Structure formats: structure tokens, C-alpha cells
Amino acid sequence: ACFSLGVMVTMNQRLEADTLLLVADEFGYKIEFSDADLEEIEAEEDMDTEEDLSPRAPIVTVMGHVDHGKTSLLDYIRKTNVIAGESGGITQHIGAYNVKLENGQRITFLDTPGHEAFTAMRARGAQITDIAIIVIAADDDVMPQTREAISHAQAAGVPMIIALNKVDRPSANPDNVRQQLSGMNILVEEWGGNVQSQEISAKFGNNMDVLLEKVLLQAEMLDLKANPDRNAQGVVIEASLDKGRGYVATMLVQSGTLKVGDYVLAGKNHGKVKAMLDERGRNLTEAGPSIPVTILGLDGAPTAGDKFKVYEDESEAKTIANKREQLQRELSIRTKKHTTLEELGRRI
Ligand code: GDP
Ligand code: MG
């Protein structure tokens, strides 16, 4: 059968998963790949029971049309005293930061360029945003990138909070924006709908505290939880090569607790965590769920959106990496229902 497919093999040669599958099919057999392995490796997170879980901070992405005020909003939050008990604000510009509000509650903001990051991460299968703030300048219309941002959030099933920005401007007309949104079937609270919204001025800080309260309210409804007591896993936000420090990667912990000394596998890269820093450049020894950290010690720069996971040691990380790759290949073949022998022949 292999020869007829143009695959020249010997009797004791291991076949590629897709070849195996089709050859077996040819003889009326079904191959069972090891689901047990797959579950063990990939579905560890599902093993958490309710009592393992603790509340975690919401992870928020800010999206919107260019010049509508995304950077101003993030900068305001980063620099001002909405952050309790912290002086000086955040100076480091890293892809994510966690702020503590007056009431002690925390919010993590993803400070990556708008929906590019959102789509790049989603394309890689990483869904990390809990809530999307859609910034719309109240002195402008609902623009193409606004629509795009809204449809990304909707497609991902991420609840939105509409921030009607620049209301300090005399030309601001928030009702015009509400009107246009209603034309897209998005009815904000003030108009009797269920989409939260808030008029703000990101530049002057007006009602920014109210906006953040709405974020927390939304978060409460989502009942966000994770297990902090396990090996960490999460997503790479950004990574680069730093002249003095080697490869630095900003990671967002999604579950478990990441610690200095942990062995991390992130995308194709791995290494022992030599040091961890927060958004203020301070050293941390550990970081729990929803906390972003910059880590030092990887052997390269993984790609934004890559998943990371902590393993007991280097050899386990490497074994798992290979196994995972193999299983994913087999799985993707299994879901490719329309592959035929003929197509396989063509590919070979
Ligand atoms: P981005 O492209 O969405 O990141 O928008 P920016 O935050 O860079 O803002 C674009 C311009 O609008 C800048 O000149 C800001 O100073 C200005 N801007 C942003 N927010 C406000 C606001 O609330 N009021 C006023 N008057 N200007 C704002
Ligand atoms: Mg900007």
C-alpha cells in the first residue's frame, strides 16, 4: 500500500502519522492514538477541582480606532494614583502590567498594540483576554477599526466595555456614538441595553475610576478563578534580546505560580528562570495567576502568543515538547477529514 502511494519504506521504519492513518484505513482498520497521553499532557488544567480554585484578577485588553485614545487611557492608568499605595507609577514599558486599585482589587492590562496582539494571540490559540475595553472618541464616528475591534471581541466571546473618550472636547457628541452603536445592535446601558459603557477623558482622567469599577463589576460577573498551587502555565506576551540581560520574555501566568528556579518551556524555547521582574523593574520570587512578569533565563525569544509551562526539569521539558509536537500532528491529521489517499500521494 505504501509503495502504491509512492512512499518507499522498509518493514521496520516508523511511518508518519498521516501515512499510518490512511494505510490502516485502506485495510479497514482504525488507529487509536494515545488519548491518555494527550490528556495527561494537555488537559492537566481540567484536573483542578472547585476547592483548588481561587479568584484571580481580570485580564483586560484595550482596543479601538487609531487616535481614539488607547495609549492615553493605558498611560493614565499606568501613571496615576488610581494605583493605591504605589508611588512613582510604572516607568518600564512592558507588554502587560497589573494595577492595584484603592479598594485593593487588581486588574491586569495588556499593553500590546491593540487588536493586532489580540488577533495574533488568537491565531495561536491563546485566549487570554477576559474583558475588552473598546475606546471610541466621542467627537468622532464609529470607525472601521472600532467595528473590527468589536467583532474580534464578539467572536472571542469576550465582554466589552465601551469607553466614550474625549468628552472634555466641546465637539464631543457621545449620543452620536451610542446611536451608531445601536445601529450595530450594540445597546449601551444608558439606552437600556446590557453593554456597559462610560464617558471618560483619558487625557484628563475624568471618570477613569468609574470605568475601572465597571471593569471590576464585569469581572465579578465572570467569576474568574484559577488554581495557584501548581506548576505555572500561561502565555508569552512579548520577548526580545536585551544587550545586558540576554533573552527577556514577558509572560502572563494563567494558572499556577511561577517561581525563580522553575524550568520553563515556552514555544520552542526553554530555560531555567534566573530572575523575575514586575512592571516596575522590581525583583519577584514568584507570580501567581493573572500576574505578568518579565523573566530572564530562556535560551531564545519565543513568539507572542506562545504558551509556556513549567516542568520538573530540563529532560522532562524536552521529552514533553517532543511528545506534544507529535500528538498535535496526529490530532491535526485526525481532524483533517477530507484527506484522501490520492491527496496524500500528491503531497508525497
Ligand atoms: P491611540 O492611537 O488610540 O493610542 O490614541 P492616543 O492615546 O495616542 O491619542 C490620540 C490623540 O488624542 C493624542 O493627541 C491624545 O492626546 C488625544 N487624546 C486622547 N484622549 C483624549 C481625551 O480624553 N481628551 C482630549 N482632548 N484628547 C485626547
Ligand atoms: Mg496608541
Q: Residue whose CA is closest, atom 6 of ligand 1?
A: 69
How many A from CA of 183 to the centre of ligand 1?
Answer: 25
Of the residues 71, 72, 134, 200, which should be mutated to test ligand 1's pocket, given the most ligand atoms within 8 Å of the CB?
72
How many A from CA of 74 to the centre of ligand 2?
Answer: 9
Q: What is the pLDDT of residues 238-294, one digit of tens each?
A: 899 998 899 999 999 999 999 999 999 998 788 999 999 988 888 999 999 999 999
Q: Residue whose CA is closest, atom 24 of ligand 1?
A: 166
ipTM comes to 0.99
Residue 88: predicted pLDDT: 52
Residue 279's nearest CA partner among 51, 109, 135, 141 is 109
Residue 90: predicted pLDDT: 57
Residue 11 has pLDDT above 80, yes or no: no
Q: Return the C-alpha cell found at 4.
A: 502504491
Q: Return the C-alpha cell found at 269.
A: 524555547
Neighbours of ion ligand 2 (CB under 5 A): 70-71
How many A from CA of 118 to the centre of ligand 1?
Answer: 21
Q: What are phi and psi of 168, to 5 degrees?
A: -70, -20
Q: Residue whose CA is closest, atom 2 of ligand 1?
A: 67
**Whole-number Å distance between alpha carbons of 45 and 186:** 34
258-259 vs 286-287, strand pairing mode:
antiparallel
Instruction: Confirm if 21 and 334 have CB atoms less than 8 A apart.
Output: yes
More confident residue, 51 or 340: 51
Q: Return the C-alpha cell found at 37.
A: 497521553
Q: What is the pLDDT of residues 223-234, one digit of tens each?
A: 999 999 999 999
Ligand 1 is surrounded, with C-beta below 6 A, by 64, 66-72, 165-166, 168-169, 201-203
As annotated, the binding site for GTP includes 64-71, 111-115, 165-168
Average pLDDT over residues 168-187: 97
Q: Three-state SS string across 233-264, please?
A: EEEEEEEEEECCCEEEEEEEEEECEEECCCEE
Average pLDDT over residues 183-205: 96
pLDDT exceeding 90 applies to what percent of the chain? 47
Q: Residue whose CA is closest, atom 14 of ligand 1?
A: 67
Residue 163 has pLDDT above 80, yes or no: yes
Q: What is the pLDDT of residues 148-158, one digit of tens each?
A: 889 888 988 89
User: Cβ atoms within 10 A of the Cβ of 29, count?
Assistant: 10
307-311 vs 59-64, strand pairing mode:
unpaired
Of the residues 146, 203, 206, 207, which should be mutated to test ligand 1's pocket, given the most ligand atoms within 8 Å of the CB?
203
How many A from CA of 261 to the centre of ligand 2?
Answer: 36
Specify which residues 281 forms β-bridges with.
none
pTM: 0.79
Average pLDDT over residues 24-45: 63
Sign of the dihedral through C-alpha 332, 337, 341, 342: negative
Q: Which pLDDT band holds residue 324 (cuts at 50, 70, 90)?
A: low
Under DSSP, is residue 267 helix (H, G, I), strand (E, B) or coil?
coil
Q: Residue whose CA is closest, atom 22 of ligand 1?
A: 166
Residue 124: predicted pLDDT: 56
Highest mean pLDDT among 82-91, 153-162, 215-224, 339-348: 215-224
Q: Residue whose CA is closest, atom 16 of ligand 1?
A: 203
How many A from CA of 74 to the centre of ligand 1?
Answer: 11
How many A from CA of 65 to the centre of ligand 1?
Answer: 11
DSSP count for the chain of H helices, then E strands: 10, 18
Burial 147-162 (b: 16+ CB within 10 A, else e): ebbbebbeebebbbbb
